[in-house]
Amino acid sequence: MPDASLVLGIETSCDETGVALARIHDDRTELLVDAVASSVDEHARFGGIIPEIASRAHLEAMVPTIQRALAEADVDLGQVGAVAVTAGPGLVGPLTVGAAAAKALAVGLGVPLHGVNHVIGHAAVDELVHGLFPERVMALVVSGGHSSLLLVDDVATDVTELGHTLDDAAGEAFDKVGRLLGLPYPGGPHIDRLAREGDPEAIRFPRGLTAAKDQARHADDFSFSGLKTAVARWVEARQDAGQEIPLHDVAASFAAAVADVLTAKTIAACRRHEVDTLVIGGGFSANSQLRELAAQRCAEAGITVRIPPIRYCTDNGAMIAALGAAVVRRGLPASPLDLAVDSSMPLTQVTV
């Protein structure tokens, strides 16, 4: 018999096939299992995600990953009471594979289907770790495709997008600078590793959209394209002069500039909106400099910062199960079985 408190979450927005099971309790949401199959190694030689390869990888991994999740949680498929799936934003092909699987499960089990927002899921996953959100939180979601600042009055029904990246997202800038420095794809973890041994004050790289003239129009927005270009010009100048590139210092100074902008703008937004809890999520929230600087500045500002463990920062089924559980907890209507995926799903739309 289906258990209305048991939610199956499916995530396929990019190159990870994520399947998770979460159980709804009166005062918390419990994660039973989070199974992930990644195709990142298949994209490494191309220096980026190839949508067709990702789609085929999801097709191959979907059933085995669902079976693994059920086995690890010791749950029978017939016990699932609701299915949540990423409806967007993301790559159309991968999204379509996940949505097709979720629709088939919902029809076969006779349970509600909930299409949910991938980006908001990156914030919602923290409820599995640190408990249900207070009445109002600020969420900074930073990943390879998104750098978004969200005011969350209710994670399932009331999310306001305050700002976003105007060009490169933080993770995207890291990957591009990684290629510039000759590092393997994805560049983020490699730059983070180098940065730990470098001097973050060795090179003063620019902080995008922080000048006084930008504050009126773009107080909550981000821009990292100019920073990426500044790093490229600095490296090229050293190369043209026949000088060695101090990789550790370049990485540390670049990472410090990104973390500085993200934390400064986010804490300023918390103060303007009188929010005292900050949630940071997304793949780039695994960055050590961002975590350390956010913790330091939030402590100084009297703001509680909540950052999930690194394993919940990258794309996973747990984030979708968490957001699906929040939707079910509030008794929101199910999505139609003909729901269409949306590669550019707006961040004010939590569910379909």
Do both 211 and 303 map to the same domain? yes
What's the pLDDT score for residue 49? Answer: 74
Residue 86's DSSP bridge partners are: 116
170 found inside a domain: yes
Instruction: Identify whether the C-beta of residue 8 lies closer than 8 Å to the C-beta of residue 116.
Output: no
Residue 223 has pLDDT above 80, yes or no: yes
- Cα–Cα distance measured from residue 93 to residue 105, given in angstroms and rounded to the nearest whole number: 19
Complete DSSP assignment for 264-315: HHHHHHHHHTT--EEEEESGGGG-HHHHHHHHHHHHHHT-EEE---GGGTSS
What's the pLDDT score for residue 160? Answer: 97
Q: Which domain holds residue 96?
A: 3-125+316-329
User: In whole numbers, what is the pLDDT of the chain averaged over residues?
Assistant: 95
130 found inside a domain: no
Smallest CA-to-CA distance from 322 within 20, 55, 53, 59 is with: 20
Do both 321 and 287 map to the same domain? no
Q: What is the pLDDT of residues 116-143, one digit of tens each?
A: 999 999 999 999 999 999 999 999 999 8
Find all residues with CB under 8 Å of 201, minimum gap 6, and list them.
253, 256
Number of domain units in the chain: 2
- pTM score, whole prediction: 0.94
Q: What is the pLDDT of residues 106-117, one digit of tens each?
A: 999 999 999 999
What's the pLDDT score for residue 43? Answer: 62
* CATH code of 85's domain: 3.30.420.40
DSSP, collapsed to helix, strand or coil, labels residue 216 as helix
Do both 235 and 258 map to the same domain? yes
Do both 35 and 163 map to the same domain? no
58 found inside a domain: yes
Cα 77 to chain center, whole Å?
28
39 found inside a domain: yes
Do both 144 and 288 map to the same domain? yes
Instruction: Identify whether the C-beta of residue 160 lies closer than 8 Å to the C-beta of residue 137.
Output: no
349 found inside a domain: no
